Structure 1
Amino acid sequence: MGSGKHRSKIFFHRSSPITAFRKQKFPREFVCPISGSLMADPVIVSSGHTFERNCVLACKYLSFIPTLPAGCTADFSTIIPNLALKSTIVNWSCSSLHDPPKPIDFHSACKLVQTLMDSQNPKSQRTHFKTRDEKHTQLVKEAAEKNGIAVTKLTDSDTELTGRTSRLSSSSDESVALANGPTTPLPLKTRPSCYSSESSSDIETLNSNSLEEEEFIEKLRSSQVFEQEEAVISLRKLTRTQETARLHLCTPRLLSALRNLITSRYSSIQVNSTAALVNLSLENPNKIKIVRSGIVPPLIDVLRVGFPESQDHAAGALFSLALDDQNKTAIGVLGALPSLLHAIRSDSERTRHDSTLALYHLSLIQSNRVKLVKIGSVPMLLGMVRSGHMTGRVMLILCNLSASVEGRATVLDCGGVECFVGMLSRGEFDSESTRESCVTALYGLSQGGLRFKGLAREAGAEEVLKKVEEIGSERVKEKVRRIMGVMREKDEEEEVDWEELLNSGEVSQTRYRLGGGRDGSGVNPSEF
């Protein structure tokens, strides 16, 4: 029994080839056809075959389609976890006195696939690349040169650019959990949704020989894609859990090397680069350094057209950087506002939330408010509020816009008063902070003079505000009283200006002073 365990351990740690399968006598359906190892995370692909997950991801990454022993080829377009087989393998391992299988890491899987590629007939793989024309090959070479990859060393597997479905870190422990929602008032949120701290028991222990800054820079600037990927994954791990590493590694040289990889066409490099940047941006001393390094424009590009998971991290990075007051103007000038405004309607919840909070913090600056008004944000934001889409966060932005002259006029034009009064009358708020935001926006609009008063009367604001004052918090009550005070003050001004004038006979005296002659002819008899 002891020797059986010993043989099993050697088999898993060495990721033995298929020849070891015969010695171990595992059930054939439990073994990955690529690695020859017992599967720890089996997945079913479109062709119906089952493989170890990281072996499939390695094949997709290297654009390799293996030829199976039966002569057929696999289709990796869809990957579905095989939970039933996974449970069966674990139960079999326990009953057979074997250690449960451990998943093969991605780097080792890539080496296995590369070996398999070399062993199979290269001609069988060339048919997969015949459909590429010369124009596509030239675009790939230009992209490779831009990312610092030596064009002369590119092979077929290097030039195949992965699609959006290849998000390698999403299936590993590197993927971070989506926050369920803020437990504090939204303006106080200081961590992007794509980042979550972990307890000490969940933190993966890093090797003692972690890469130092010079080693990171050397690998980030390497012409080998594998070295670039290894560097960004290691950088992401290190900066995710260690504050001192975030402060130590955020240097102009490292940021310059990282900047060139953020827009990489390789999904794993792009995702892990942007995620590492989010981690670096968490420390306040790093925020200004990152903006000054010129990384914001590539981040904007990723937010617009990057891989879905990269867009999550790009939105989180812009939100984190926008928390620093010295960065707000620069981020707006660099053109982030249109992309963030588009991203708040993304399919990804993390992208929507972090983009909205980034816009909130950026709209605290007057110059950014003017830009947001000019790019047509007000109708879009009001439309989201009317549809009940992310009401709490969107109302924060509208509060800031309503406090400025340009934003106030546009919100009034777009029916903001009617919208906010209607929300208060229905009372359908997910939190007290959203109710307060609605009242705050109305208070900002109340500085718009007689026009606000007319729109508020038409919407029945006075009656609604009285009810809100009775049930609202102290801060809400105070703001309601200020709005009502503004409305009453204008009522008194109108009474003084018109009713007293009409009843006192001053109108005739005024007409006389303005040119009406004593004889009623309307001609001023004075000579000059």
Structure 2
Amino acid sequence: MGKNMEFQDAVSFVVQGSLQKNRVSHKATESDAVTSGRKWKIFYRPSSTFASKKKQPPEEFLCPILGSLMADPVIVSSGHTFERVSVQACKTINFTPRLSDGSTPDFSTVIPNLALKSAIAKWCHNSANLLPEPPDVASSEKFVLSLMTRNQKTDSSIQNKTESQKVVITEEELIQGMKENPPVNFNHAATEVNRRPAHPYWNSEESAGSSPASPPMQLSTRPSCYSSASSSEIEVIVHCSPEEENILAKLRSSQVSEIDEAAISLRKLTKTREDTRAQICSPRLLSVLRSLVVSKYANIQVNAVAALVNLSLEKVNKVKILRSGIVPPLVDALKGGCPEVQEHASGAIFSLAVHDDNKTAIGVLGALPPLLHLLQSENERTRNDSALALYHLSLVQSNRTKMIKLGSVPTLTSMLKSGKMRGHVLLILCNLASCGDGRAAMLDAQAVECLVGLLSGSELGSGSTRESCVAVLYALSHGGLRFKAVARAAGVVEVLKKEEKVGSERAREKVKRILEMMRVKEEAEEDDVDWEALLDSGLCSLSQLPEL
């Protein structure tokens, strides 16, 4: 028993001595750990080994476009890996970056790179770094736009140093997915040296020779009146004639008179010699035109924009023109140019917007607000080209969303009521009605009552405008319960029954579908629907409730 006590005392003495020694050692190394009159307070500091683990991520973990640690890496068709948001931004703006190794990626397919994502997460854990968050979409688009501008300036400076007789076109891959024929016959858009005479695009079916009627239209498709036009095939090697070289040289002159003369010559050349449009539309020329589009000399500006319209008529030039960075100057011309400049600028945007690969980028670059404003222009051709540009741009969901936020629906509905360009307006409204936000905005703007009133009257006559009116109603009919309440109050059933007898085949088919949707057993529906709750939700007014 005594020995055990002695052993325990010895162990206790050793342990206490060790603890006391550790405390003294800890006090010596951590002078701020103990203060006078206070209890022990231990501060934990990362060791030098731990701190050294916080290092820069490996290069393969960084997005080649944004340069940041990837939160959602994806593999594209060419085998490269990027941050998903950066790929979306490039596709939105229609920009293919040139990577550090000189290669260009193919964004046609996108597959998640789960292995790399897991490796990045493991590296963040081991190196005490926070997991990266996906970049902001808007900021990424702005960054890619700035990168696109820098690349265009670099390409332009390199191009100016190359031989003038030989220009290599590298955009063949952008045109492979296009249809053989463009969807629009642009013969009407070819510009003259003198001011273009105003004339209708289509045979008008509206009274008093007012704004032309819209063509027959299948829902959410291009107008059937548009015919295809032949276009030259892409050429790999472009040879410039002495005449064209002379024009380019004068456009770069420091003398205003020479620039003016060259702009007129370029406009004549691109109008009268269609075979030269594809070969003369080089980065060198577009770089010069980009500055002339916003020239302070009105005559130079007019002829430069008109020449650009003529160049854009060739389908192989459309993407090339957009990628040259010339759309922002065109948007400035739409906003602040003289009436003739606005006329040609709206025609150029219309021509470029026909190409599917350009639609989203044009909307991102700010063309929608001035185009909507120019719907009220005193110039008929400016109004028409602006409306047609908006029609083609509104075929893309992102542009539809922007137009709705810009308040386009009340403006377009007001134009319908006043009789201004009804055919064109109906085409745009039909596109906007294909999305939920557009239908809600149109119901708020009393578009159903307006459309029913037009169909019940005699102003529309017969033909394509009436068919477009029915097409918009058909798109709105997908609005569900709210549309039914509003449509019944407006008397849509009676109006459509008359239209079913006299309308075109396409219109009758849409009328039939609307009536089938409306022909639900009204008694059962009225029993199931709490109209007071519907009214309280703000979906309809008292005047729109069915008679009980």
Give the TM-score category using the shorter length: 0.5 to 0.7
**In structure 2, what is the Cα distance between the partners aligned to 1:498 and 1:235?**
66
Distance 1:325 1:370, change over 3 A: same
Segments of structure 1 that go 5 or more residues without pairing to the other structure are 1-171, 192-208, 500-528
1:363 aligns with 2:363: no
Distance 1:436 1:316, change over 3 A: same
Report if aligned partners of 2:350, 2:388 keep a CA contact under 8 Å in 1: yes
Distance 1:389 1:449, change over 3 A: same
**Equivalent in the alignment of 1:475:** 506
1:277 aligns with 2:308: yes
**In structure 2, what is the Cα distance between the partners aligned to 1:189 and 1:223?**
46
User: Which of 185, 200, 205 pairs up with 2:215?
Assistant: 185
What TM-score do you get using the length of structure 2 for normalisation? 0.54
**In structure 1, what is the Cα distance between the partners aligned to 2:519 and 2:370?**
42
How big is the alpha-carbon RMSD for the aligned residues of Structure 1 and Structure 2?
Answer: 2.2
Cα distance, 1:431 vs structure 2: 5.2
Q: 1:74-473 to 2 correspondence within 5 Å?
A: 174-183=194-203, 185=215, 187=223, 211-429=242-460, 432-473=463-504
**In structure 2, what is the Cα distance between the partners aligned to 1:357 and 1:406?**
22
Cα distance, 1:489 vs structure 2: 3.4
Report if aligned partners of 1:322, 1:331 keep a CA contact under 8 Å in 2: yes
Cα distance, 1:492 vs structure 2: 7.7
**Equivalent in the alignment of 1:194:** none
Distance 1:367 1:498, change over 3 A: closer
**In structure 2, what is the Cα distance between the partners aligned to 1:189 and 1:338?**
27
Query: Counterpart of 2:500 in 1: which secondary structure?
Result: helix
Counterpart amino acid of residue 518 in structure 2: M
**In structure 2, what is the Cα distance between the partners aligned to 1:245 and 1:469?**
51
User: Could you list the per-position Cα deviations for residues 399-457 of structure 1 after superposition, in whole angstroms to 9, with x for gaps in the alignment?
Assistant: 11111111001101110111111111113115511111111111111111111010011
Distance 1:317 1:190, change over 3 A: farther
**In structure 2, what is the Cα distance between the partners aligned to 1:180 and 1:211?**
38
Report if aligned partners of 1:213, 1:254 keep a CA contact under 8 Å in 2: no
Report if aligned partners of 2:215, 2:423 keep a CA contact under 8 Å in 1: no
What TM-score do you get using the length of structure 1 for normalisation? 0.56
**In structure 2, what is the Cα distance between the partners aligned to 1:321 and 1:391?**
24
Distance 1:246 1:236, change over 3 A: same
**Equivalent in the alignment of 2:540:** none
Distance 1:344 1:334, change over 3 A: same
Percent of aligned positions with the same letter in both sequences? 60
Cα distance, 1:488 vs structure 2: 1.7
User: Could you list the per-position Cα deviations for residues 312-371 of structure 1 after superposition, in whole angstroms to 9, with x for gaps in the alignment?
Assistant: 100100001111111000000001000000001001111000000100111011111000
**Equivalent in the alignment of 1:523:** none
Report if aligned partners of 1:190, 1:320 keep a CA contact under 8 Å in 2: no
**In structure 2, what is the Cα distance between the partners aligned to 1:347 and 1:211?**
41
User: Which of 522, 525, 529 pairs up with 1:494?
Assistant: 525
Report if aligned partners of 2:215, 2:465 keep a CA contact under 8 Å in 1: no
Cα distance, 1:265 vs structure 2: 1.1
Query: Counterpart of 2:520 in 1: which secondary structure?
Result: helix
**Equivalent in the alignment of 1:71:** none
Report if aligned partners of 1:288, 1:327 keep a CA contact under 8 Å in 2: yes
Report if aligned partners of 1:275, 1:313 keep a CA contact under 8 Å in 2: yes
Cα distance, 1:308 vs structure 2: 1.3
Query: Counterpart of 1:344 in 2: which secondary structure?
Result: helix
Segments of structure 2 that go 5 or more residues without pairing to the other structure are 1-191, 204-213, 217-222, 228-239, 531-548
**In structure 1, what is the Cα distance between the partners aligned to 2:455 and 2:353?**
31
**Equivalent in the alignment of 1:124:** none
**In structure 1, what is the Cα distance between the partners aligned to 2:413 and 2:264?**
41
User: Could you list the per-position Cα deviations for residues 447-485 of structure 1 after superposition, in whole angstroms to 9, with x for gaps in the alignment?
Assistant: 111110100110011001001111111111100001011
**In structure 1, what is the Cα distance between the partners aligned to 2:226 and 2:324?**
22
Counterpart amino acid of residue 482 in structure 1: R
Aligned length: 311
Cα distance, 1:180 vs structure 2: 3.1
Report if aligned partners of 1:322, 1:362 keep a CA contact under 8 Å in 2: yes
Counterpart amino acid of residue 357 in structure 1: L
Distance 1:220 1:461, change over 3 A: same
**In structure 1, what is the Cα distance between the partners aligned to 2:462 and 2:300?**
40
Cα distance, 1:497 vs structure 2: 5.0
**In structure 1, what is the Cα distance between the partners aligned to 2:285 and 2:258?**
15
